[in-house]
Structure 1
Amino acid sequence: MSEPASHSASISLSREPGYWAGRFMAMASPCEVLIEQATEPLARRIVDAAAACAWRIERKFSRYRADSVVHMINSNAGRAVALDAESAALIEFGATLTQMSEGRFDITSGVLRKVWTFDGGSVVPTQAQIDAVMSCVGWRHVEWRNPVLRLQPGMQIDLGGIGKEYAVDQAAARVEDIAPGCSCLINFGGDVVVRNPRQDGQPWRVGIEAWGREGTAVRLVHLNRGGLATSGDSRRFVLHQGRRYSHIIDALTGWPVPDAPHSITVAADTCTQAGTLTTLAMLRGRDCEQFLRESGARYWIQLSREQSE
């Protein structure tokens, strides 16, 4: 199925030194696809396919769309719903992350947005407000017999914590089907994947944005293949009485993770794997680096001011 004309018209394609660059918006993020050694028609086909993949996943799993699977699940809280294979796989992955994080990550914790708004403002909810919402948080309250899901009344799921990395990997797989062996860098809002090395042997270079300095790279990461994901509080936070609260919430407490660094970037075999490691590391707060060292992955941490002093 082709994308609506309004979507297709929003894709740009330009020739840069050594590669084609396609750009579009998806999942509230700027997205780009860099393509080496391709004709213009092939480059356009690749970018169109990556954008269509991003828009399809956004349409299917966004909590903001009334026609999404997530909205259907949340609207049926209290009743069992049978899911398609792709939706069930994402739910299963979310359940696995909950187990790996010992409950600190939880796809039912999205209801906490009713009391937390990470828009750079200064409003912090009271403990009573958090407690009222926490009664609807907890994977342990969910009945899950793949592919049948039943939430308790008042509960919701939110796949925003895993959806973008999944979309990047799916787009890369689609591009590989269209142009096997073509070296592309796919970047959806800072979540990145490269499937094949460049022909000249040079890596793709990806900048890690310096905290507090939008558009400025604090480090360049060289990627020949694999995924890169970053988690941080540069744009989503609350600043209250001199204290900065990150949007990374511990689902066990309903409060932002204490002593978390400003950002963590991880390189792994896929973007989904990299995103998993950044999430699990962030949820460990001050112990994040020990976890990352033990994982064996490449990582880069930007500490908060208090941690660096």
Structure 2
Amino acid sequence: MRLPDSDKKMNFLSIRVTIITLSILLIIAIVIFVVFWKKPPQYYVQYGVALGTNVTISYATGRGNAQQVVETMFKELDNINNIFNPWLPNSELYNLNHSNGQWTQVSPELLDVLEYSIQIAQKTDGNFDPSIGRLVNLWGFNSTDSRNWHLPSSSEIANILPHVGYQNVQFDGNKVRLLNGVWIDLGGIAKGYAVQLLVEMAKENDPNSTGYVDIGGDIGIIGPKYGNQPWVIGVRNPRGTSNDALTYVNLYRGYIATSGDYERYITVGGKRYYHIINPKTGYSDNYFQSVTSISDNGMLSDAFGTAAMVAGPNDISQWAEELGIGYFLIYENGQIQNNTLWNEYAK
């Protein structure tokens, strides 16, 4: 018995639809399997010490060279120290500080950071000032040995203040001249520069790589955790232990840095004096316990906190709005304040 041609056609179409349906279901199943069963990236984590502080780098890449890239990053930190450490004899910055006011050719790296530092100094009315090297030295805060930290006399500070001021830094192409005996100390911005440079090195190796760089609490995000999750970063309680966080922020990108009064400080007569020095007075101020900043620029996040610790609360909101910074402030009395952009990062 033969089927009518119309029935044959219907049967063929039914089989074809079934095959197409099964193919679609198979594709969907494969996609679901890949999404949910894909092996998460394996992070290579390395710890070390550089720029006078602890360093952690966590890195994952599909190119299989995570360890090699991280080791290259640590080597680059040695190079950065040889450029930016003002207290290391024969470093590039040390030599510039001891150039006796002569025009001195500097590397592109030092020139970039110096020029950016002066821009931030101008933007913050001199509350961030890279020319405070002689003040840092006077207080002994250039040393990691707390026995060297001390309260200078008022006359000693008065004698140093004429040798401070970012206006004394002059540029001529790739040459720099320091007038009036100023010394440059880039401690308020160098870590941010280093973090950003290492993040850029990681992304250059693999644009889809993930992880983070942490240099003494200055943190840059290479990429979201496992490719789609935030890195959860705590803001330290300045009056607690290093593991005591007051709040947390979720970062998929960007740079976060904290400036505070709790790392290098002395207490004299019941008053706390710390390493972030007001370039106009020669003393540290007591507006905040700490300032934490988030932005898309490592140097900016680092320098903003320093400027805010010096300036106090009056100008911070305006600076943050103009520069695109999220901030979290802890006042001296423990009161907390943050802005809208911080809340967007914290979600």
Q: What's the TM-score bracket when you normalise by the shorter of the two chains?
A: 0.7 to 0.9
Distance 1:153-1:298 versus aligned 2 partners, 3 A rule: closer
Closer, same or farther in 2 for the Cα pair 1:102/1:83, shift >3 Å? same
Give the match for residue 43 of structure 1: 66
TM-score, reference length from structure 2: 0.76
- Match for 2:111 among 88, 91, 113? 88
- 2:138 is the alignment partner of 1:110: no
1:143 and 1:198, CA in 2 relative to 1: closer, same or farther beyond 3 A?
A: closer
One-letter code aligned to 1:31: V
Query: C-alpha separation between the residues in 1 aligned to 2:180 and 2:273?
Result: 29
| 1:289 CA drift (Å) | 5.3
Task: Point out the more displaced range, 91-100 or 141-150.
Answer: 141-150
Q: Please say if 1:30 is aligned against 2:54.
A: yes
Identity of aligned residues (%): 27
User: Is 1:79 the equivalent of 2:79?
Assistant: no
Write the distance in 2 (CA, Å) between the matches of 1:210 and 1:121: 26
Return 296-305 or 155-164, whichever deviates more: 296-305
Cα offset, 1:181, TM superposition: 0.9
Structure 2 counterpart of 1:98, from 115, 121, 129: 121
Provide closer, same or farther for how the CA distance between residues 273 and 123 of structure 1 changes in structure 2, counting only shifts above 3 A: closer
Corresponding residue for residue 301 of structure 2: 274
* Aligned residue among 135, 155, 161 for 2:182: 155
- SS at 2:250's partner residue? strand
3-state DSSP of counterpart to 2:95: helix
- Out of 54, 76, 90, the residue aligned to residue 67 of structure 1 is 90
Cα distance change on mapping 1:60 and 1:289 into 2, 3 Å:
closer
Alignment deviations for residues 14-70 of structure 1 (CA, whole Å, 9 cap, x no partner): xxx96332111111111111124658x522112112212222111211112223110
Q: Hey, what does 2:342 align to over in structure 1?
A: none
Deviations 1:97-145 (A, max 9, x none): 2211212222211101233235488842222110111121112233332
Contact 1:20 1:43 in 2 (8 A): yes
Do the aligned partners of 1:36 and 1:198 also contact (CA within 8 Å) in 2?
Answer: no
Change (3 A) 1:217 1:20: farther
Amino acid aligned to 1:30 = N
SS of 1:174 mapped into structure 2: helix
Structure with more relative contact order (C-alpha pairs < 8 Å, separation 6 or more): 1
Moved segments of 4+, more than 4 Å:
none
- After alignment, is 144-153 or 287-296 more displaced? 287-296
| Cα deviation, residue 170, structure 1 | 0.4
1:175 pairs with 2:198: no
RMSD: 2.5
Measure the CA separation in 1 of the matches of 2:329 and 2:169: 34
**Stretch of structure 1 that moved more, 137-146 or 87-96:** 137-146
Q: Secondary structure at the match of 2:163?
A: coil
Match of 2:264 among 236, 239, 257: 236
Q: Distance in 2 between matches of 1:84 and 1:164?
A: 18
Q: Give the alignment partner of residue 21 of structure 1, picking from 27, 33, 45.
A: 45
Number of residues paired by the alignment?
A: 291
Say if 1:292 and 1:299, in contact at 8 Å, map to a contact too. no
| Structure label with greater radius of gyration | 2
The CA distance in 2 between the partners of 1:242 and 1:265, in whole Å, is 25
Asked if 2 retains the 8 angstrom alpha-carbon contact of 1:50 and 1:172, the reply is no
Structure 1 residues 154 and 53: alpha-carbon distance in aligned structure 2, compared to 1, 3 A threshold: same
Residue 49 of structure 1 contacts residue 171 of structure 1 at CA under 8 Å; is this kept in 2?
no
Q: CA contact under 8 A between 2:139 and 2:149: conserved in structure 1?
A: no
Q: Gaps (5+ residues) in structure 2?
A: 1-40, 337-347
Partner of 2:255: 227
Give, in whole Å, the separation in 1 of the partners of 2:193 and 2:227: 29
Is there any run of 5+ residues in structure 1 with no aligned partner, and where? 1-16
SS at match of 1:161: coil
Amino acid at match of 1:216: D
Q: Provide the C-alpha distance between the structure 2 equivalents of 1:36 and 1:143, rounded to a whole number of angstroms.
A: 42
